[in-house]
C-alpha cells in the first residue's frame, strides 16, 4: 500500500532547493586547497562578516568544524576542555577530542534549558599546577539539540564569558557549537554577530535546517582559521572544486535563513495541537518548544518511545476511515525518533510545509487518542 510520508526524524533530511541546484550547476570553481575557488572564498568571507569575525573555513561537517576548533584552541597535548554532558561534541562525535586531538574532556551536567551551572564551571577551571591538565577551552552549544532545540539566552552567555575571561592562569578560549545558531538568533531576534560576539570561534551547519546538502563553516580570527585550514588538510578535509557545495551555502544564507522563523511557528503548531488533546499518556511542555525541535514525553508506564515511533509509522485501516489521509486518499506515516526511552523527538525543516504539518497533527491525534482510549488515566 502506498503511503504519504511526513519525515520528522531530523533537519538533516532537508533537500537542496531548486535554486540551490541551479546555483551549484553554474558555480565558478577552482582548487580550494590552493585557495582558488572563488565561490568558496565568497561564502567564507560572507559568513565571517555576518558573524563579525575575520575569516571563515568551509569544512565537510559540523563534527569536523568542532574537531578543528578543539585542535587549534588546545595546542598542547593533555589540554582539557569543559563542555556540557549532553552536548553533541561529548555524545556524538566519537570522542574525537580524545581520539584525534589528544584532549581530555571535563563535563558539566546540562540542565534541561541547555545551560550548565556557571558555579560548576568556575570550580572546573584548573589552576596552574604541575599536577593538573591545562584548561584550554569551553564549548557551548546553541541551540541545544538534546535539550530540545533550546535557545541558550544571551544573558547566560554574557555571564559565562565574563567568568571565563576573569579566570586567572593561562587564557581559555571559547567555542560555540552553533550547528543551529541561526535558529537561536531567529528565536531571540538577535543577530548571530551579537550572539557570538565574545566567542573565539563558531561552527555553523549549512546542511541542517539551512537546507544545503553538505558542509559546515568555521569562523574566527585570521590566525585561528589559518591553523584550522592546516589541520583540515591533515584530517583529510582539503577539498578541491568544492564551490559546487559552497554555492548551495550561499543560497542558504540568502534565502533559507530568513525563513527559519516559519519552521519554529509550525513546530509550535504541532506542539499546541498535541497539548490541546490533554492526554494523560503523551504530553508536551509548550514553553520548552522554542525552535524547530519538539519533544513528546510519554507518561504512560506501559509505553516506550520505540513503540510510539512504530505506531506513528503504521497505517491501520480504521485510521483511513477516520480521515487520517492526504488529499489523494493515502494513509499517513509520520517518522520520528525515540531519543530516549520515554520521549520522541520531532524536527521540522524547510521542506515540511503547512500541508504536512496538518497531516502530522492528524496522525498524532489519532494515535494519541487510541492511547487515551486504552489507558484513560495514567496509574
Ligand atoms: C549535527 C550537529 C553537529 C555535527 O554535525 P555533522 O555535520 O553531522 O557532523 C554538531 N553539533 C550539533 C549541536 C549538531 O546538532
Question: Could you write out the DSSP letters of every residue in 13-25?
Answer: G----HHHHHHHH
Mean pLDDT of the chain: 96
Atom of ligand 1 nearest to the CA of 141: 13
Q: How far is the CA of 317 from the centre of ligand 1 (A)?
A: 39
pLDDT value at 349 more than 80: yes
pLDDT value at 95 more than 90: yes
Strand partners, 293: 347
Are 123 and 266 in the same domain?
no
Report the alpha-carbon angle 366-281-1, nearest 5: 30
Q: Which residues line ligand 1 (CB under 6 A)?
A: 61-63, 66, 88, 141, 145, 177, 179, 205, 207, 216
DSSP 44-63: HHHHHHHTT-SEEEEES-HH
Question: In a mutational test of the pocket of ligand 1, which residue from 59, 145, 206, 349 has the highest number of ligand atoms less than 8 Å from its CB?
Answer: 145
Total domain count, the chain: 2
Q: What is the DSSP letter of 349?
A: -
42 Cβ partners below 8 Å, 6+ apart?
246, 250
C-alpha cell of residue 9:
526524524
Are 282 and 229 in the same domain?
no
Are 264 and 331 in the same domain?
yes
Atom of ligand 1 nearest to the CA of 87: 13
- Among the candidates 193, 213, 240, a domain finishes at 240
In a domain, 104, yes or no: yes
- Among the candidates 182, 207, 240, a domain finishes at 240
Q: How far is CA 84 from the centre of its chain?
A: 15
Query: Cell 510545509 appears where?
Result: 353
Q: How far is the CA of 206 from the centre of ligand 1 (A)?
A: 10
Quick one: pLDDT at residue 351?
Answer: 96
- 136: phi then psi, degrees, rounded to nearest 5: -115, -20
Q: Whose CA is nearest to atom 10 of ligand 1?
A: 62
Are 313 and 212 in the same domain?
no
- What is the percentage of the chain residues whose pLDDT exceeds 70? 99
Polymer length in residues for the chain: 379
> What's the rounded Cα separation, in Å, for the pair 128 and 141?
27
Confidence (pTM): 0.95
pLDDT value at 213 more than 90: yes
The string of pLDDT tens digits covering residues 119-167 is 999 999 998 889 999 999 999 999 999 999 999 999 999 999 999 999 8
Are 187 and 282 in the same domain?
no
Strand stretches in the chain, DSSP E: 3-7, 55-59, 79-84, 104-108, 134-141, 173-177, 201-205, 216-220, 282-283, 293-298, 331-335, 337-340, 343-347
Residue 76: domain span: 30-240
- Among the candidates 240, 272, 299, a domain finishes at 240
> What's the rounded Cα separation, in Å, for the pair 261 and 190?
13
Q: How far is the CA of 88 from the centre of ligand 1 (A)?
A: 7
In a domain, 18, yes or no: no
The string of pLDDT tens digits covering residues 156-207 is 999 999 999 998 767 899 999 999 999 999 999 999 999 999 999 999 999 9
Question: Is there a contact between 86 and 248 (Cβ–Cβ < 8 Å)?
Answer: no
Amino acid at each position: 500500500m502506498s503511503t504519504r510520508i511526513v519525515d520528522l526524524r531530523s533537519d538533516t533530511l532537508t533537500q537542496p532547493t531548486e535554486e540551490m541546484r541551479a546555483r551549484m550547476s553554474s558555480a565558478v570553481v577552482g582548487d580550494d586547497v590552493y585557495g582558488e575557488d572563488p565561490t568558496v572564498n565568497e561564502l567564507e568571507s560572507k559568513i565571517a562578516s555576518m558573524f563579525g569575525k575575520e575569516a571563515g573555513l568551509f569544512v565537510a561537517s559540523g563534527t569536523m568544524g568542532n574537531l578543528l576548533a578543539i585542535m587549534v584552541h588546545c595546542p598542547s597535548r593533555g589540554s582539557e576542555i569543559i563542555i556540557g554532558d549532553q552536548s553533541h561534541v561529548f555524545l556524538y562525535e566519537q570522542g574525537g577530542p580524545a581520539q584525534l586531538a589528544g584532549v581530555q574532556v571535563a563535563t558539566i551536567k546540562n540542565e534541561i534549558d541547555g545551560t550548565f551551572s556557571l558555579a560548576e564551571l568556575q570550580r572546573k577551571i584548573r589552576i596552574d599546577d604541575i599536577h593538573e591538565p591545562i584548561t584550554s577551552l569551553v564549548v557551548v552549544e546553541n541551540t541545544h539539540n538534546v535539550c530540545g532545540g533550546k535557545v541558550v539566552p544571551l544573558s547566560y552567555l554574557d555571564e559565562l564569558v565574563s567568568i571565563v575571561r576573569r579566570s586567572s592562569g593561562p587564557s581559555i578560549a571559547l567555542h560555540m557549537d552553533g550547528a543551529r545558531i541561526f535558529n537561536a538568533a531567529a528565536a531571540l531576534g538577535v543577530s548571530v554577530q551579537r550572539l557570538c560576539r565574545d566567542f573565539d570561534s563558531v561552527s555553523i551547519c549549512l546542511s541542517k535546517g539551512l537546507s544545503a546538502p553538505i558542509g559546515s563553516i568555521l569562523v574566527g580570527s585570521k590566525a585561528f582559521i589559518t591553523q584550522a585550514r592546516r589541520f583540515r588538510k591533515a584530517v583529510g578535509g582539503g577539498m578541491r572544486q568544492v564551490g559546487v557545495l559552497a554555492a548551495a551555502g550561499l543560497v542558504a544564507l540568502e534565502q533559507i535563513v530568513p525563513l527559519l522563523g516559519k519552521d519554529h511557528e509550525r513546530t509550535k503548531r504541532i506542539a499546541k495541537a498535541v497539548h490541546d488533546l490533554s492526554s494523560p499518556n503523551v504530553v508536551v511542555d509548550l514553553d520548552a518548544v522554542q525552535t524547530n525541535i519538539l519533544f513528546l514525553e510519554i507518561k504512560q508506564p506501559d509505553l516506550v518511545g520505540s513503540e510510539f515511533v512504530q505506531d506513528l509509522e503504521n497505517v491501520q485501516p480504521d485510521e483511513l476511515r477516520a480521515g487520517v489521509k492526504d488529499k489523494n486518499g493515502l494513509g499517513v506515516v509520520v517518522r520520528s525518533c525515540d531519543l530516549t526511552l520515554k520521549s520522541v523527538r520531532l524536527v521540522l525543516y524547510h521542506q515540511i510545509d503547512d500541508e504536512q504539518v496538518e497531516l502530522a497533527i492528524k496522525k498524532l491525534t489519532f494515535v494519541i487518542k487510541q492511547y487515551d482510549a486504552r489507558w484513560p488515566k495514567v496509574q
